[in-house]
Amino acid sequence: MKPKPVSFEQLAGISACLALALVAHLKALPVWVLVTVAVSGGIRLLLAHRGRAAPPSAVRLVTAVLAVALLFVQFRTFNGLTAGTALLALMAGLKLLETDAQRDIYVLTLIIYFVSLSALLEGDSFWLLAYLIGVCWLTTATLLRLTSTLPAPDWRRSLRYAGRILSQALPLALVFWLFFPRFAGPLWHIPDDGSTAESGLSDTMSPGDITELALSDEIAFRVRFATAPPPPQERYWRGPVMHHFDGHTWKRAKSTSMIASALQPQGPAYRYTLSLEPHQHNWIFALDWPSHWDLPRGALTGDYTLVQPDPVSRPIDVAATSYTRVQSSEPLNARLRQWDTRLPPDRNPRTTQLAHTLRGEHPDEMDYVRAVLNLFTQQEFYYTLTPPKLADDSVDKFLFDTKRGFCEHYASAFAILMRAAGIPARVVTGYQGGTLNRYADYWIVRQSDAHAWNEVWIEGRGWLRVDPTSAIAPGRVEHGMNDAVSADEPLGSRWHRRTPWLADVRLRLDALRQIWRERILLFDQDSQQKVLEWLNIPEPDGQKLVMVLTAALTLVLVWLTWAVRREIAPARKEPLIRAYSRLCAKLAALGMPRLAHEGAEDYAARVAQSRPDLGPAVTALCRHYSILRYAAAPARISVGQFDAAVRAFRPVPNHVK
Amino acid sequence: MNTLRRAASNKLRAWAVRRNGRDSLPTKILRRRIYLMPTRFGFMLGLILIAMLIAGLNYNSNLGLAFAFLMASVAFVTMHHCNRILLGLQVDATTEVDAFAGGEASFEFVLSNESNVDRRDVEIRCMTAAGMRSVPARSSESVSVAVPVPRRGVVRIDQFELRTRYPFGWFFAWTYLQGSLTAYVAPAPRGNRTLPALGGSGFQSPSEIRGDEDFAGLRAYEPGVPLKHMAWKVLARGGEAAVRSYTSLAAQPEWLEWSSLEGQDAESRLSQLCLWVLESEAAQRVFGLRIPGTEIPPARGAAHRFACLRALATYAVAGPA
């Protein structure tokens, strides 16, 4: 079979589909790949428009080798989502360049399907799914027009037919999706191509870091409490804990060998489920002091941050239990004590001096802590999102000169004042507070809730949480950022925060998003088990799942067969012809079937001849039929009346008479 | 690879014959005799679908899986739609056709679609030849399939095939129909002898040897009669279509004889006779044909010509049952 050449229209159609599929990858793909695809598609379309064939194979080969080499130089691998997608996109672009026969376009449609899928692998939005199904619909309609040997149906009908097939496929796809067994982990390791940016808190803290986060409305995580939620002043979500200070920046401890020592919980336990958004770090923002969690490879660090070995690169749900107040009877680990009392030498001398003076006045550790907090409230310290920039010896400058800062400034200054007085202290970063979504009863914690506070070691009592920010701006802790900053701060210009109904709409949308996330994105083995339980299947397991899958597939396939075949049942006759056929059948039952060539009136004449008693009735009915059917004369009765008359006509068999 | 495919196809054909028996035309295509296979493109799609599934599972992506399952389901549905193109289609065919050796036997098929859906891209294959047609909803279409016939004789086709790749070309559905079609292949009209005319004067144009004074009456119209011989006046009066019949010198019966072609082999003689039949018919002559075993009495007209050609086609071959 010789290959069928492609037309300009076909090329344009498939190029448009490819472009639409690549739109979903705009952010991830390197610009030069997109440009290459666009240019090669453009060249090919231009050539086709002038009725010319594809460029010679040497040109194509050189382009292909160059492009793939360049790709490899950039990514060092073809494994991984971004690199793989880039390779696919390049292949599609180059395939477009060499497309001469329809066979090439078939290959292109397959690439488009796969490119669409790859956008979904790490995507999570409903709209993305809807968009890509739309792209696949369009591609399939294009394919329909391509593969028709005889003149293809027009665009509208092609789209309708492809849409019909898609809609008939939906029930089958749903059954597959619900019951196809899910695996707990990946089949093989997915290389991390590092294309996804880290977000939220990092493992260092410099002045200004959290201020930046405070401006972001992005959601960090959502929490649904199984118990009553803790009061606002105890809603601290622990992230990375900072120990090492170089005078400007706080750093997290790299060593993970330290084991968290046992704690004696005080106060109520809080049980909750954390729906974490991916942030590309390995910590999980549990409520203050976590004691239990259902994370298979989760563990606590020596400073009680819940961590897992791999970064959180996909949305995950973690059920956990925490306490907000604890005590420790064990002495402080020597290494921790050493870390948490160390200060960079020769930095911030005025602060050190102040610490020594104050400590002299307050020999009791708790008294000293209170004295430092009093310092913040009594002097003119301000809580602001726009603090002045600080150079070397930033803490000295902040404490004695500018006195304006955000939570990280206060936490940093407080820790140094403690350490300088010999009290072990560290900076805890994380989130504080959250907004209740009253429509769905869960809490939303945004990046703007990012916070930094301190923990100090009190002998005989253990680690104690101290939040110096609450001393300066108690509203920050009680009601969140909006109440803590004045209206002329950057946050004050957020008009949507000041419009109640808009905030309301946002909450409702977020509730929907949470449903989408819980029901669809995080659908897994457990959810399948719940579906089976809902179906009243006792002791659900993998084998039963496969059995349910098979049964459901059988049902749907039977339905599908019926639905598809139903349409090819012989067309129903129109009511008039049905009524006439009924009349003929009644007469045939008397032994006078209508002959194939006989018209209605000839038939009536013949009937009248052999059964004079039926003559007038049959003649009248047949006359009506002729008039209704051929409109030879103005009709005096309607089709419905004719049908009724035929039904009323009950000829008596001859022998009864 | 190709031989393997051909062998499999032959096995399937033979099996289809055993399973379905002979068909009497017209026949309706039933479900159990429609076969379906992915095309090469369909196999490629299958590979892509498997890759999509693995990717979705590996990334634990429910949206990816949803998309992969949707595409797989689309393929499933397409299978049904492809099968449906042939299902319930009624097939009829002209069972006997005439042809000349070296030419093509053109079989006429009629596909009737009583349903409300269009049946697109239905292909009919007879041996190596094929014809394609779309049959819109509630209508019939005819398809002619020109089968090349290189040699004189009777070509019998016991099986023909209906197939379609619609929609998308991922699958093709096909069915074998065991209807017998016969092509009578007359010898190629060829030869250098002139038409044996009365008195041996060679070929003469009919106008030279016919005049109006030879009018001998009317006879019933038959297709193929020159328009100028139509009895228009009779037709205009409302009578049956009739043809004026002439008795002229040329109308004297003339025999096309096998025995007059001494010294040639059988096929050459048949070719020459075939040429003569066509020439005589074109010249409106009354002629008879005599070949060993067959004698066709003098007559003329299309039916007569077909009888003669068929006699030449079937000479010394096993006749139709």
Packing angle of the helix pair A102-121, B40-58 (nearest 10 deg): 10
Taking only residues 182 to 211 of chain A, the set having a beta carbon closer than 8 angstroms to any beta carbon of chain B reads 182-183, 185-188, 190
User: What is the DSSP code string of A376-399?
Assistant: HHHTT-EE-SSPPP--SSHHHHII
% helix, strand, coil for chain A, step of 5 = 50, 15, 35
Q: List CB contacts (< 8 A) between B168 and chain A.
A: 140, 143-144, 147
Q: How many Cα atoms are found within 13 Å in the side-chain-facing hemisphere of A228?
A: 6
A417 pLDDT above the threshold of 60 = yes
Output A32 or A78, whichever has higher pLDDT.
A32
The verdict on residue A2 lying in a domain is: no
Full strand arrangement of the beta sheet holding B103-113: B27-28, B90-93, B103-113, B139-149
A118 pLDDT above the threshold of 80 = yes
Q: List CB contacts (< 8 A) between B121 and chain A.
A: 148-150
- pLDDT for residue A563: 87
A120 and A212 co-located in one domain: no
Last residue of a domain, one of A152, A167, A182: A152
Taking only residues 142 to 171 of chain B, the set having a beta carbon closer than 8 angstroms to any beta carbon of chain A reads 165-169
d(CA B136, CA B120) in angstroms, rounded, equals 7
Compute the Cα dihedral for A550, A136, B133, A562 and give only its sign.
positive
- pLDDT for residue A573: 66
A146 and A210 co-located in one domain: no
B48 pLDDT above the threshold of 90 = yes
Q: Which residues contact A179 (CB under 8 A, 6 or more apart)?
A: A528, A531, A545, A546, A548, A549, A552
Lowest mean pLDDT of A139-143, A168-172, B101-105, B228-232, name the range.
B228-232
Residue with tokens 């395939």: A95
B88 and B154 co-located in one domain: yes
B74 pLDDT above the threshold of 90 = yes
User: What is the DSSP code string of B264-284?
Assistant: S-HHHHHHHHHHHHHHHHHTT
B85 and B175 co-located in one domain: yes
Mean local confidence (pLDDT), A424-448: 87
d(CA A571, CA A549) in angstroms, rounded, equals 36
The verdict on residue B243 lying in a domain is: no
The verdict on residue A565 lying in a domain is: no
Lowest mean pLDDT of A457-461, A529-533, B201-205, name the range.
B201-205
- pLDDT for residue B255: 79
Amino acid in position B97: V
Residue-wise pLDDT for A161-193, tens only, equals: 999 999 999 999 999 998 888 876 666 665 555
B131 and B259 co-located in one domain: no
- pLDDT for residue A493: 44
CB atoms within 10 A of CB A234: 18
ipTM computed for the complex: 0.76
Work out whether strand B160-164 and strand B171-177 pair parallel, antiparallel, or are unpaired. Answer: antiparallel
Q: List CB contacts (< 8 A) between B29 and chain A.
A: none
CB contact under 8 A, A122 and B167: no
Contact B161, B124 (CB under 8 A): yes
| Domain harbouring B121, CATH code | 2.60.40.10
A272 pLDDT above the threshold of 90 = yes
Tell me the average pLDDT of chain A: 83
φ and ψ at residue A179, rounded to 5 degrees: -110, -5
Q: List CB contacts (< 8 A) between B2 and chain A.
A: none
Q: Which residues contact B228 (CB under 8 A, 6 or more apart)?
A: none
The verdict on residue A490 lying in a domain is: yes
d(CA A473, CA A454) in angstroms, rounded, equals 15
Preferred mutation among B44, B77, B90, B113 to probe A, highest tally of A CBs within 10 A:
B77
Residue-wise pLDDT for B4-36, tens only, equals: 888 888 888 888 888 877 777 778 888 888 999
- pLDDT for residue B204: 42
Lowest mean pLDDT of A246-260, A422-436, A619-633, name the range.
A246-260
- pLDDT for residue A427: 92
The verdict on residue A174 lying in a domain is: no
Amino acid in position A628: L
The verdict on residue A639 lying in a domain is: yes
Nearest to A466 by CA among A477, A481, A479, A475: A477
Nearest to B120 among A148, A168, A571 (CB): A148
pTM assigned to the model: 0.71
Last residue of a domain, one of B151, B186, B221: B186
Mean local confidence (pLDDT), A468-488: 69
Taking only residues 512 to 531 of chain A, the set having a beta carbon closer than 8 angstroms to any beta carbon of chain B reads 520-524
- pLDDT for residue B207: 42
Q: How many Cα atoms are found within 13 Å in the side-chain-facing hemisphere of B296?
A: 23
Tell me the average pLDDT of chain B: 80
B32 and B160 co-located in one domain: yes
A485 and A595 co-located in one domain: no
Amino acid in position A37: V
B77 and B114 co-located in one domain: yes
Identify the H or E element spanning B256: strand B254-257
Residue-wise pLDDT for A140-156, tens only, equals: 999 988 887 777 778 88
The verdict on residue B263 lying in a domain is: yes
CB contact under 8 A, B115 and A568: yes
Output A231 or B255, whichever has higher pLDDT.
A231
CA distances from A488 to A384, A399, A492 (A): 10, 24, 6
Nearest to A123 among B63, B72, B166 (CB): B63
Taking only residues 104 to 123 of chain B, the set having a beta carbon closer than 8 angstroms to any beta carbon of chain A reads 114-117, 120-121, 123
The domain tally of chain B equals 2
d(CA A425, CA B119) in angstroms, rounded, equals 81
Nearest to A576 by CA among A530, A620, A630: A630
Q: List CB contacts (< 8 A) between A165 and chain B.
A: 74, 77-78, 81, 167
CA distance, residue A563 to nearest chain B CA (Å): 10
Contact B308, B277 (CB under 8 A): yes
- pLDDT for residue A571: 59
B174 and B204 co-located in one domain: no
* B51 close to A (CB below 8 A): yes
Local confidence band at A397 (pLDDT 50, 70, 90 cut-offs): confident
Identify the H or E element spanning B121: strand B119-126
Could you tell me the two tokens for A248? 């400007």
Local confidence band at A480 (pLDDT 50, 70, 90 cut-offs): low
Mean local confidence (pLDDT), B116-129: 86
Identify the H or E element spanning B181: strand B181-186
% helix, strand, coil for chain B, step of 5 = 35, 30, 30
Output A392 or A133, whichever has higher pLDDT.
A133
Which residues does residue B160 pair with via DSSP β-bridges, in sequence order?
B177
d(CA A238, CA A455) in angstroms, rounded, equals 11
Local confidence band at A634 (pLDDT 50, 70, 90 cut-offs): confident
Taking only residues 82 to 111 of chain A, the set having a beta carbon closer than 8 angstroms to any beta carbon of chain B reads 103, 106-107, 110
A417 and A487 co-located in one domain: yes
- pLDDT for residue A270: 93
Mean local confidence (pLDDT), A441-465: 88
Lowest mean pLDDT of A2-11, A97-106, B131-140, B276-285, name the range.
A2-11
Range of the domain at A77: 8-152
Closest A-chain CA to B61: A121
The verdict on residue A253 lying in a domain is: yes
Amino acid in position A46: L
d(CA A477, CA A449) in angstroms, rounded, equals 10
- pLDDT for residue A338: 85
Last residue of a domain, one of A152, A185, A218: A152
Output A200 or B205, whichever has higher pLDDT.
A200
Residue with tokens 């049905």: A578
- pLDDT for residue A141: 92
- pLDDT for residue A1: 46
The verdict on residue A196 lying in a domain is: no
The verdict on residue B241 lying in a domain is: no
Neighbour-count burial of A641, counting CB atoms closer than 10 A to its CB (0-12 exposed, 13-18 middle, 19+ buried): middle
- pLDDT for residue B24: 76
d(CA A94, CA A37) in angstroms, rounded, equals 7
Could you tell me the two tokens for A457? 């070691």
* B36 close to A (CB below 8 A): no
CB contact under 8 A, B60 and A185: yes
* A585 close to B (CB below 8 A): no
Local confidence band at A455 (pLDDT 50, 70, 90 cut-offs): very high
Which residues does residue B103 pair with via DSSP β-bridges, in sequence order?
B149
Closest B-chain CA to A109: B45
- Cβ contacts below 8 Å, chain A against chain B, sum to 164
CB contact under 8 A, B120 and A567: no
CB contact under 8 A, A165 and B81: yes
* A33 close to B (CB below 8 A): no
Nearest to B169 among A147, A172, A570 (CB): A147
- pLDDT for residue B320: 44
Mean local confidence (pLDDT), A366-394: 82
- pLDDT for residue A552: 92
d(CA A251, CA A234) in angstroms, rounded, equals 25
Q: Which residues contact B173 (CB under 8 A, 6 or more apart)?
A: B34, B35, B36, B82, B83, B85, B86, B163, B164
The alpha carbon of residue A563 and the mean position of all alpha carbons in its chain are separated, in whole angstroms, by 33
The domain tally of chain A equals 3
Could you tell me the two tokens for A9? 């229209």
Strand segments (E) across A285-394 = 286-287, 289-293, 299-300, 306-307, 316-327, 382-383
d(CA A484, CA B3) in angstroms, rounded, equals 83
Range of the domain at B140: 2-186
d(CA A399, CA A421) in angstroms, rounded, equals 16
Residue-wise pLDDT for A514-554, tens only, equals: 888 878 888 888 888 888 888 888 887 888 888 889 999 99
- Percent of chain A exceeding pLDDT 70 equals 91
A462 and A591 co-located in one domain: no
CB atoms within 10 A of CB A210: 22
Lowest mean pLDDT of A58-72, A106-120, A213-227, A598-612, name the range.
A58-72
Maximum pairwise Cα distance, chain B: 99
The verdict on residue A645 lying in a domain is: yes
Maximum pairwise Cα distance, chain A: 135
A353 pLDDT above the threshold of 70 = yes
Lowest mean pLDDT of A457-461, A483-487, A605-609, A612-616, name the range.
A483-487
B203 and B135 co-located in one domain: no
Q: How many Cα atoms are found within 13 Å in the side-chain-facing hemisphere of A524?
A: 15
Q: Which residues contact B100 (CB under 8 A, 6 or more apart)?
A: B149, B185, B186, B187, B188, B189, B274
d(CA B142, CA B111) in angstroms, rounded, equals 6
Closest B-chain CA to A117: B64
Tell me which DSSP letter residue A517 carries.
I
* A123 close to B (CB below 8 A): yes
Nearest to A286 by CA among A296, A297, A272: A272
Mean local confidence (pLDDT), A35-59: 82
